[in-house]
Amino acid sequence: MGNFRNKFIRFMSGRYGVDEFGKFLVWAYIFLLIVISVIDLFLNSIAVLILRLLLTLLAVYAIWRMFSRSIYRRRNENEKYKAITAPLKSNLRLLKNRFRDRKTHVYRKCPYCKAVLRLKKIKGKHRAACPRCGKSFDVKV
């Protein structure tokens, strides 16, 4: 087993490997494989064959990216993917934190710089200072 592992490590040296975009492609492949299998149960047409062909191309592209030696290009692809998904991940993280802190904190936007502030949930009117822009504003909880 160790001999195979060493050969695989030597084979992968200088190759790109797996990154976030590669993981996304693999998960997209699995999801689409399940969806196409369910569609195939109800429809037996040329459309399913075309979808299976596109699914195969997706798998080939994902594997090709992992074994690619042009690391600079794959890194650029991954950075573009991260730039596209960063706002979505940020919003999901904020929603998760808001739900987690719903009993002890409130979230308010700074009216000047639009930064989201996490404030203790104390009833009444308060004065809050934004750590990003330094300006103060009134908050009603």
The pLDDT averaged over each successive group of 10 residues in the chain (141 residues) is 82 84 95 90 82 93 91 93 94 93 92 90 90 89 82
What is the pTM assigned to this prediction?
0.69
Indicate if 106 and 50 belong to the same structural domain.
Answer: no
Indicate if 73 and 107 belong to the same structural domain.
Answer: no
Indicate if 39 and 83 belong to the same structural domain.
Answer: yes
Query: Rounded to an integer, what distance in angstroms lies between the CA atom of residue 112 and that of residue 124?
Result: 22
Instruction: Tell me the two tokens of residue 44.
Output: 């037996």
Determine the pLDDT at residue 1: 63
Determine the pLDDT at residue 96: 94
Determine the pLDDT at residue 18: 87
Provide the domain count of the chain.
Answer: 2
Indicate if 74 and 54 belong to the same structural domain.
Answer: yes
Indicate if 87 and 120 belong to the same structural domain.
Answer: no
Which domain, by its residues, includes 19? 2-99
**34, 38, 43, 59 from 53: Cα distances, Å:** 14, 16, 16, 10
Indicate if 77 and 19 belong to the same structural domain.
Answer: yes
